[in-house]
Structure 1
Amino acid sequence: MSTDRQSASGSDVADAANWRGQHLDLTIDAVAHGGHCVARHDGRVIFVRHCLPGERVRAVVTEDNGGSFCRADAVEIHEAAPGRVTPPCPLSGPGGCGGCDWQHASPATQRELKAAVVAEQLRRLAGIEWDVEVEELPGGSLGWRTRTRLVAGKDGRAGLRAHRSHQVIPLEGHGCAIAAPGALDDVLARRWRPGADIEVTKDGAGRVHVRSSETVRGRTKHRQHAGGQARERAAGRDWRFDAHGFWQVHPAAADAFAGVVAEWARADAGALAWDLYAGVGLFTAVLAEQVGADGHVVAVESSRRAVADGERVLADLWQVEWRQGGVARQLDRLSGLPQVVVLDPPRKGAGKAVIDAIATREPERIVYVACDPAALARDVALLASHGYQLSELRAFDAFPRTHHVECVALLTPRL
């Protein structure tokens, strides 16, 4: 992709008060967390999207708020890296849909980039050198996304936003390359109230669930258009729960992560175990099977609906106790010394208060499921200050074509 606008010379750019709109010839350096790579020009760092490490590109600056860095899009590739491919989605690229970051990279290259990001975050934030490999999940890099959140544009057509923008890129006529087949067909065929959020879930039974949300006078109103109760199969159990509550987005992820948690938790029969940020209890079920009828599993979850669903689905597991509320507050109320703690916090991570509360109970093993490598690294560093070490790490490409990566870490007391 090229442009008719003329590139500014180095001196012109250096003298400019704001680089926005300027075109720069850049050599791309390493990948960075967030779906972009790093370049440097006239003493400033530039975060560049739609490129790969080692490429020479012409980029247009899209954001410049002053300071030491700005943001840009690669609009012309002078020298391509070996991992570059033709994007399978026609809506990707500069100014296009912001839902994917690596449409222009081969699947193997994407996993290499994500591995580099995880390793860099552990090194920089936790002081840990770790050889990271990102594992592929079954099903390929397209057509995997079972949960999609769209927004209706001014014309009522459903779409996804451009990167760091409120602009809506309509999907009608194109669909979404990473969405599960058939998930969006009905949603894209109709018109919606402008500005409405539209949540779409295709569950393990193949049923599509659709809910729209609108904010009126400061209050959010939901309307269910199709379905409502999702059905899934994972960890050897059948699950039924709110289709728009939390569940893994990749169809193979729940089973894969439950398997790793089971392998690393190794809770003894009769032991106490905690499952924090439990959702509907995927890992709770794993822990309950390990501790048995004489053990005790405490599942902590902030969502009332998730707790209600979890209590119903796991009603046969008498050893499970549910606590509804924020994890930090609930931890202050829990008694006993858990042998194992499993936690799957939101993208921001668990944070100091939660990590401190866990560490003071001195569990033998902590299994941490993380959807953000920076948050994981920060919390690993906090645990290190309490005498815990990173013993095992597995990373999974649970979000192909995006910059997101899921990690499962095992932390044990330092010997």
Structure 2
Amino acid sequence: MNPQTQSHPATATAAPTELVLDVGPVAHGGHCVARHEGRVIFVRHGIPGEKVRVRLTDAGESAKFWRADVVEVLEASPDRVEHFWRPADSLRAWAHGHPPVGGAEFGHISLARQRTLKSAVLAEQLQRLAAVERLPDGLDLGNLVEAVEAGGPDSSQETEPTYDAGTGLGWRTRASFSVTPGGKLGMHAHRSDHIIAVREMPLATERINRLRLWDLDLTGIERVEVAAPSNGSRPLVLLAPAPGTKPKRLSAIAAQLPDDVSVATFDPLTGEVAQLRGRTWVQESAAGHDYRVTGAGFWQIHRDAPGTLVGAITEFLHNGGFLAPGSVVADLYAGAGLFTAPLADAVGETGSVLSVEGAPGTSRDARKNLHGAPQVEIEHGRVERVLRQKPRNFDAIVLDPPRAGAGKPVVSQLIAAGPRAIAYVSCDPASFARDVGYFQQAGWSLAGLRAFDLYPHTHHLETVALLTPGP
């Protein structure tokens, strides 16, 4: 193929290159694989089997691979649909001279096909990194990812309808935004410093969209984080000020928001939060418990994710006989205690739960959230250190590491601790598969697996696995 070029108003020196490509299989990270003259090109906004015209977004001659966005579809997949959000639609965005915003990179694909693509990614990672060819209970490697139905055990607490599972919109109870040089709410393009102004966030709940953050003058702010719990409790808007922003400017921004919204500043590097108005935390609810979550502390962003994940974990552990009154369990990378509280319910006052979290603010939240459960021991620190200092015989461990996974040293420590079972929660198929491989090398088995489409219209998914010693 001969590359074709086209001028671009945002490029001052050289016109970017466009290619016509046949889109190949999906790959981890939200793109598909294509090839041009032997070179691998990672293509976003395509579907396997399509013929497309792409704009190269990262194409150094010495690079091992290139990156590209689809700008025109020449032969469309039957699974292609009209994108629900103009700023994230690659075809429309590039037609207007700029890249699309990130965060909805699968929005051009039917929901059913999105889930098969995510299943293919998870299966490929498990096969390649953990040599998993067969799954327990006759699960199909090609159909692993489940849709999450609207509602759930806490739906009665909600003050607005649940998200529309049929469209995959309205599920985010938390959202993160950048700010344009002109002080308007915006979002970054993928792998870019370019910020595009936005006037809606269709993946977010109606409570977030009703704040109309795009109408604010955000001059002096670099980032905005917003949390609007689905239980109807008070929303929180966090502002990350630019260096030199005066308190008067921050107060002026806070005054533009409704009175029933808490407003605080935060430092993205340290996590430090300072009150401007109202609370510096939100109250979340799940599995019959309330949780205080301070600032930008971690909480599952899909409104039905907490109940879904708690249900999957406890079902695996209960059905296997690993969780019962009197059991000794651990919740590692425990956050504010989402899993710790239902684990404490299950083991009762005759059992014990060790809850370990490394982030200081989140660990303080866990102490507040679990203060009424004497069977829970809260430890702040790195998982590796706490496990060394507090060895014990565990019946079960819940492992919910960050995106990078647990890693070989932690996996080795867990194996040495000799638990009867580990329930592993993961948001990244690659690090999950790598860690499963470490467990299998030590003689452990993948005894159960569920994967959930908790992030519709993105390439992300959530996985819950049951790992047990022995074949």
The amino acid of 1:133's aligned partner reads L
Is 2:227 the partner of 1:201? yes
The amino acid of 2:401's aligned partner reads P
Query: Alpha carbons of 1:323 and 1:303: their partners in 2 closer, same or farther (altered >3 Å)?
Result: same
| SS in structure 2 of the partner of residue 196 of structure 1 | strand
| SS in structure 1 of the partner of residue 208 of structure 2 | coil
Distance in 1 separating the partners of 2:339 and 2:235 = 25
Map 1:11-410; keep pairs closer than 5 Å. Answer: 21-65=16-60, 66-94=62-90, 95-129=99-133, 130=135, 131=141, 132-137=143-148, 138=150, 139=163, 140=165, 141-172=168-199, 175-184=200-209, 185-194=211-220, 196-206=222-232, 207-214=234-241, 216=243, 222-224=273-275, 227-266=279-318, 267-410=323-466
Per the TM alignment, residue 117 of structure 1 is displaced from its structure 2 partner at its CA by 0.7
Residue matched to 2:260: none
| The 10-residue stretch of structure 1 (51-60 or 222-231) with the greater mean CA deviation from structure 2 | 222-231
> Is the contact made by 1:20 and 1:64 (CA closer than 8 Å) also made in structure 2?
no
| SS in structure 1 of the partner of residue 206 of structure 2 | coil
Q: RMSD of the TM alignment (CA)?
A: 2.1
Distance in 2 separating the partners of 1:108 and 1:171 = 27
Distance in 1 separating the partners of 2:292 and 2:85 = 33
Distance in 2 separating the partners of 1:29 and 1:414 = 38
Per the TM alignment, residue 286 of structure 1 is displaced from its structure 2 partner at its CA by 2.0
Per the TM alignment, residue 96 of structure 1 is displaced from its structure 2 partner at its CA by 1.3
Per the TM alignment, residue 353 of structure 1 is displaced from its structure 2 partner at its CA by 1.3
The amino acid of 2:54's aligned partner reads A
Per the TM alignment, residue 262 of structure 1 is displaced from its structure 2 partner at its CA by 0.7
Distance in 2 separating the partners of 1:9 and 1:179 = 38
Per the TM alignment, residue 229 of structure 1 is displaced from its structure 2 partner at its CA by 2.7
User: What is the aligned-residue identity percentage?
Assistant: 41
Per the TM alignment, residue 414 of structure 1 is displaced from its structure 2 partner at its CA by 2.0
Which whole-Å deviations, capped at 9, do the CAs of 1:14-42 have from their partners, x for residues lacking one?
xxxxx992221111110011111011111
> Is the contact made by 2:56 and 2:67 (CA closer than 8 Å) also made in structure 1?
yes
Distance in 1 separating the partners of 2:386 and 2:306 = 25
> Is the contact made by 1:20 and 1:61 (CA closer than 8 Å) also made in structure 2?
no
TM-score normalised by L of structure 1: 0.91
> Is the contact made by 1:153 and 1:195 (CA closer than 8 Å) also made in structure 2?
no
Per the TM alignment, residue 287 of structure 1 is displaced from its structure 2 partner at its CA by 1.7
Distance in 2 separating the partners of 1:406 and 1:365 = 19
Which whole-Å deviations, capped at 9, do the CAs of 1:107-163 have from their partners, x for residues lacking one?
111111111111111111111124242111123211111111111111011111011
Which whole-Å deviations, capped at 9, do the CAs of 1:203-239 have from their partners, x for residues lacking one?
1233321011136499867554564332222112222
Distance in 2 separating the partners of 1:271 and 1:361 = 15
Query: Alpha carbons of 1:73 and 1:272: their partners in 2 closer, same or farther (altered >3 Å)?
Result: same
Which whole-Å deviations, capped at 9, do the CAs of 1:69-119 have from their partners, x for residues lacking one?
111111111111111000010111331111211010111111111111111
Query: Alpha carbons of 1:51 and 1:20: their partners in 2 closer, same or farther (altered >3 Å)?
Result: farther
The amino acid of 1:265's aligned partner reads L
> Is the contact made by 2:421 and 2:466 (CA closer than 8 Å) also made in structure 1?
yes
> Is the contact made by 2:396 and 2:422 (CA closer than 8 Å) also made in structure 1?
yes
Distance in 2 separating the partners of 1:7 and 1:165 = 27
Query: Alpha carbons of 1:391 and 1:315: their partners in 2 closer, same or farther (altered >3 Å)?
Result: same
| SS in structure 2 of the partner of residue 71 of structure 1 | strand
> Is the contact made by 1:300 and 1:322 (CA closer than 8 Å) also made in structure 2?
yes
| The 10-residue stretch of structure 1 (47-56 or 180-189) with the greater mean CA deviation from structure 2 | 180-189
| SS in structure 1 of the partner of residue 82 of structure 2 | coil
> Is the contact made by 1:331 and 1:354 (CA closer than 8 Å) also made in structure 2?
no
> Is the contact made by 1:229 and 1:243 (CA closer than 8 Å) also made in structure 2?
yes
TM-score normalised by L of structure 2: 0.81
Per the TM alignment, residue 195 of structure 1 is displaced from its structure 2 partner at its CA by 5.3
| SS in structure 2 of the partner of residue 315 of structure 1 | coil
The amino acid of 1:152's aligned partner reads V
Distance in 1 separating the partners of 2:110 and 2:220 = 36
Distance in 1 separating the partners of 2:273 and 2:214 = 19
Distance in 1 separating the partners of 2:311 and 2:465 = 13
Residue matched to 1:14: none
> Is the contact made by 2:238 and 2:295 (CA closer than 8 Å) also made in structure 1?
no
| SS in structure 2 of the partner of residue 182 of structure 1 | helix
Distance in 2 separating the partners of 1:75 and 1:270 = 59
| The 10-residue stretch of structure 1 (231-240 or 315-324) with the greater mean CA deviation from structure 2 | 231-240
Per the TM alignment, residue 332 of structure 1 is displaced from its structure 2 partner at its CA by 1.4
Query: Alpha carbons of 1:339 and 1:98: their partners in 2 closer, same or farther (altered >3 Å)?
Result: same
| SS in structure 1 of the partner of residue 126 of structure 2 | helix
> Is the contact made by 1:25 and 1:59 (CA closer than 8 Å) also made in structure 2?
yes
| SS in structure 2 of the partner of residue 124 of structure 1 | helix
| SS in structure 2 of the partner of residue 332 of structure 1 | helix
Distance in 2 separating the partners of 1:9 and 1:307 = 55
The amino acid of 2:145's aligned partner reads V
